[in-house]
A = this chain, B = another copy of it.
Amino acid sequence: MQSTKEKLHRIIFGVDTPAGKGFDIALLILIVASITILMLESVREINQEWAALFYKLDWIITGLFTVEYGLRLWTSEKKTQYVFSFFGIIDLLSILPTYLSIFFIGSHALAIIRVLRLLRVFRVLKLVQFMGEASKLGEAVKSSSRKIVVFLFFVVIVSVFVGTLMYIIEGREHGFTSIPRSIYWAIVTLSTVGYGDIAPQTTLGQFLATILMVTGYGLIAVPTGLVTVELAKGSTNALNPSGDTSRQCRQCGNADHMKKAKYCCECGEALQ
C-alpha cells in the first residue's frame, strides 16, 4: 500500500493520474496569474488603484509556491538531485525575489524568473512531439555551433573596427560619444535593427555606414544558410531522394534501402 508521501509524490511529479494532471494545470494557471500581476504592477496607472490587492495576491501566490517547493522537497527521494536540477533551481529562484523584496526595494521584479517555470507546459500537455521538434531545432543549432562561433567572432571584430572608425570620423558632437557607444551603433546597424537614436551625419560617416549596411545584408545570409543546411540534414526525406523505406528485408528486417536496391545492404538477402 502507498504511503501519503508516495501518493503526494505521484500527484506533484507525475502527470499520468487525473490528480497529477489537475495539479500541474492548476500550477500553470497560478504561474500565468503571477506573471500577469507582475506586469500589471509595473503599469503606474493600474498599480495606483490596485496596489493593495496586487500586494496581497502576490504574497498568497508566493506562499502557495513555497508550500509546493516544500512538498516537492519532502516527497523527493533524492533531495539533493531535485534541488540542483534545472527545475529545482528555477522553483527556488521563483519564490526568493518576493522574500528579498522585504529587504531590498525593487528586487521584486526579479520574480519574472517564474516565466521559466512555464517550460513545464511541455511536460504537462505531454507534448512529446513538440519536445522532439524543439530538440531537432536545438540539434541543428548545436551542430552548426562551431561555424556560428567563427561567424560571431567575425561580427565582433568588424563591429569593434567600424565602431572605432566612426568614433574618429563622426565624433562626440554627432552622438558617437565613446568607442563602446560607437560599437553599440555598429551592431545596431549590422543587425539591421537601426533604432536611429545614433545616426551618422557627415558624408564620410554616411558612406562608411552604407558599406556596413550592405555587409550586414550579406552577413544575415550566413546563419540562415548554416541553419537551413543543418535542418535539411535532419530531414532525410528532403535530401535523400534515392532512399526508400517502404520495403522491409525478410531476413534481417532492415527497411532502409536505396530505391534501386535489389539486395539488402545489411545481410545480402534479395529484396522483393
Does residue A150 face the partner (Cβ distance < 8 Å to B)? yes
Kindly state whether residue A18 has any CB partner on chain B within 8 Å: no
Q: Which of A165-195 contact B (CB under 8 A)?
A: 165, 167-168, 172, 177-181, 183-184, 187-189, 191-195
Q: Is A217 an interface residue (CB 8 A)?
A: yes
Nearest CB in chain B: distance from A154 CB, A: 8
A151 at the interface (CB under 8 A from B): yes
In the complex the two chains form, is A181's CB within 8 Å of B193's CB?
no
User: Is B268 a contact of A269 with CB atoms below 8 Å?
Assistant: yes
Return chain B residues, CB-CB under 8 Å to A214.
Answer: 152, 155, 187, 191
A223 proximal to B (CB < 8 A) = yes
For the complex, what is the distance from the CA of A109 to the CA of B221, rounded to whole Å?
A: 32
Among A191, A210, A223, the one with the most B-chain Cβ atoms within 10 Å of its Cβ is A191
Number of copies: 4
Contact A256 B258 (CB under 8 A): yes
Asked if A147 meets B136 with Cβ closer than 8 Å, knowing A179-B42, A179-B109, A224-B228, the reply is yes
- With A43-B178, A214-B155 as known contacts, state yes or no: A265 contacts B262, CB within 8 Å: yes
Contact of A209 among B35, B149, B184, B259 (CB under 8 A): B184
Interface residues of A in 97-119 (CB under 8 A from B): 106, 109-110, 112, 115-116, 118-119
Q: Give the residues in chain B near A218, CB-CB below 8 Å.
A: 141, 148, 223, 227
> In whole Å, how far is A207's beta carbon from the nearest beta carbon of chain B?
8
Tell whether A235 is near chain B: CB-to-CB under 8 Å.
Answer: yes
> Which chain A residues (230-261) contact chain B, with CB distance < 8 Å?
230-233, 235-243, 245, 254-261
Decide if A161 is an interface residue (CB 8 Å cutoff).
Answer: yes
In the assembled complex, the Cα of A228 lies from the Cα of B220 at a distance in Å of 11
**CB-CB contacts below 8 Å: A112-152 with B:** 112, 115-116, 118-119, 129-130, 133-134, 136-137, 140-141, 146-152
Q: A228-B232, A229-B238, A268-B269 are in contact. List 15 more A-B contacts (CB 8 A).
A: A42-B179, A42-B180, A112-B179, A130-B146, A133-B150, A155-B214, A180-B203, A191-B217, A196-B196, A217-B220, A224-B228, A228-B229, A242-B243, A264-B268, A268-B270
Instruction: Give 30 CB contacts A-B under 8 Å.
Output: A39-B179, A39-B183, A109-B167, A116-B161, A118-B157, A130-B149, A137-B151, A137-B222, A155-B214, A187-B214, A188-B213, A191-B217, A194-B195, A196-B197, A197-B199, A221-B226, A225-B230, A225-B231, A225-B232, A228-B232, A236-B242, A238-B239, A245-B259, A255-B260, A258-B265, A261-B265, A262-B266, A263-B263, A263-B267, A265-B265
